[in-house]
Chain A
Amino acid sequence: MTCEEARRVIGAEPNSSSRELAEHVQECAACAEFQLEMLALDANIRRALEEPPVGTRFRRRVTARPRWALAASILVGILGVLVVWALRVENSLAHEVVAHVIEEPQSWTPTDPASQAEVAEVLRKSGLLLEAAPYEVMYARSCWFRGHFVPHLVVRTAHGLATVLILRDENIGTRETFHEDGLFGVLVPSAHGSIAVLAADGAQLDDLAARMQIAVRPMSNAAAAG
C-alpha cells in the first residue's frame, strides 16, 4: 500500500481495520500522524454536532430574566457542580483510558500474536495472572497509567480487535459505558480493581469484560516476587 492509498483509506474511514493499512501506518510515521489528525477531526465533528451552538445557549440565557430565574439558575448550578463532582472520578477514568489507547497507536494494528511468555510477563509486572486467555492476545504491554503499571492487551475477537486494560488500582462502584473519539468502551468493577474494554464496535464489550473478570487472578506474593 502506498502513502496515497493509505491516505485515501484513512480519509474515508479513520478507524479502518484494514490489515494493509495497519501494516502501512506501523511503518510510516507520516501516515500514522495523518490518521491521528483524522481521528481528532472526527472527534471535533462529533462534538460540533452533539453540542448546541454556543450563540443559542447564550441568547437563551440573556433574553428572559425574571429575578427568580437568577436564584433558580444558581441553585441549578450548585446541583450541577455536585453531580459533576460525584461523577468526576469515573468519568475522568474513562476519558484517560481512551486518551491512553489513542496515544498508543501501535496497539491498534498488531500483526502477530503476542507469545504466552510476553503476556505472562506483562501481567506479572502488575502482580496478576491470566489463567486462560479468552481470545488470542495480539498485543501485550505493561503501561504506566495513573501511577501504576497496568497490563494493556489487545485481543482478537469474532467482532475484531478489542483493547483491554486491567486496572488493579482503580476501584469503581458500578459498570460504566462510554463512547469517545470513535471508541466504544465499558468499565466494569472486578474482584481486583476494575477492567476497561474498548473497541471500535460496541457489540461484544460486556461479554469480553465478563470473560476477563473470570480469567484474571492475582499472583501469590512469592510468584510475584519471582
Chain B
Amino acid sequence: LEIVSLNEALEKEAGAFVSRDDSDINALRSAIFQLPIEYREPLTMQVLGGFSVDEIAGELNLSASAVLTRLFRARNKLRTLYGLSAVADGLCGEVPP
C-alpha cells in the first residue's frame, strides 16, 4: 500500500471534510455578507439580536415601514439561494422616518 502523509493529504483535501450541510451554511453566510449593508444590518439585528421592528427603526433612524421593507427584501434575496422562488416584491418605496 502507498504511504501517504496525513498532513499533506489534509492540506490537499480540505474541501472533502466540509459536509454538504456546512457548505450550505457557508454559502448562506457568504450571501448574507454580500447583501447591501442597508439590508444586512436590520436582518442581523432582528434574527441574531432579537430586536423588534420598532427597536431597529429607532436604532437606524428609519420608519418602521422602511425597516419592514428592508427585512422583506433581504430575506427575498436569501431565499433564492435555496432554490426557492422569490416572492413578488410589490412593496412601495421606503417611507422616510
Contact = CB atoms under 8 A, between A and B. Distances in A.
A180 to B, nearest CB: 12
B28 A12 contact: no
Interface residues of B, number: 35
Interface residues of A, dominant DSSP: helix
A13 B79 contact: no
A190 B68 CA distance: 41
B7 interface: yes
B18 A55 contact: yes
Interface residues of B, dominant DSSP: helix
Interface in A183-216: 202
A62 B7 CA distance: 7
Nearest to B14: A58
Contact of B72 (A8, A37, A48): A8
A189 to B, nearest CB: 26
A45 interface: yes
A14 B82 CA distance: 17
Interface string B75-97: 11011001010011011000000
Nearest to B79: A41
Contacts of B91: 8
B69 A44 contact: no
A4 interface: yes
B74 to A, nearest CB: 9
Contacts of B78: 41, 45
A103 to B, nearest CB: 20
A55 B26 contact: yes
A190 B97 CA distance: 48
25 contacts: A8-B72, A11-B75, A12-B71, A12-B75, A13-B46, A13-B68, A34-B87, A37-B79, A41-B82, A45-B32, A45-B43, A45-B48, A46-B48, A47-B25, A48-B25, A48-B26, A48-B28, A48-B29, A49-B44, A53-B26, A53-B29, A55-B18, A58-B14, A58-B18, A65-B7
Interface of B: 7, 10-11, 14, 17-18, 22, 24-26, 28-29, 32, 43-44, 46-48, 50, 53, 67-69, 71-72, 75-76, 78-79, 82, 84, 87-88, 90-91
